[in-house]
Amino acid sequence: MSEKSNQTKKIIILFSTFIVPLLFFLFLASGKVNFNKLPTITEKVSNLNGEIPFRNKVSVLSVLGEEPSVGTYQNILNLYQVIYKSTEKYKNFQVITVIPKSGEDTAEELKKELAKVGGVDLPKWEYLVLSENQIKNLVSSFGIPAIIYDKKKGLEKVFIIDEDMSLRGRTDDEDTSSGLLYSYDTRSVSVLKNKLREDLKVVFYESKFAVKEPKLN
pLDDT of residue 172: 94
Give the whole-angstrom CA distance, residue 167 versus residue 190: 21
Q: Is the per-residue pLDDT at 160 higher than 90?
A: yes
Domain map (residue ranges) of the chain:
1-30, 40-209
Q: Is the per-residue pLDDT at 32 higher than 60?
A: no
Percent of the chain with pLDDT over 90: 69
Tens of pLDDT, residues 109-123: 998 889 888 767 899
pLDDT of residue 34: 45
**3-state secondary structure labels for all residues of 106-132:** HHHHHHHHHHHCCCCCCCCEEEEEECH
| Lowest-confidence segment of 34-43, 137-146, 156-165, 179-188 by average pLDDT | 34-43
Residue type at 4? Answer: K
Q: Are strands 125-130 and 58-63 parallel, antiparallel or unpaired?
A: unpaired
Tens of pLDDT, residues 47-60: 999 999 999 999 99
Q: How many CB atoms lie within 10 A of CB 169?
A: 21
pLDDT of residue 116: 87
Q: Is the per-residue pLDDT at 37 higher than 90?
A: no
CATH class entry, domain 40-209: alpha beta
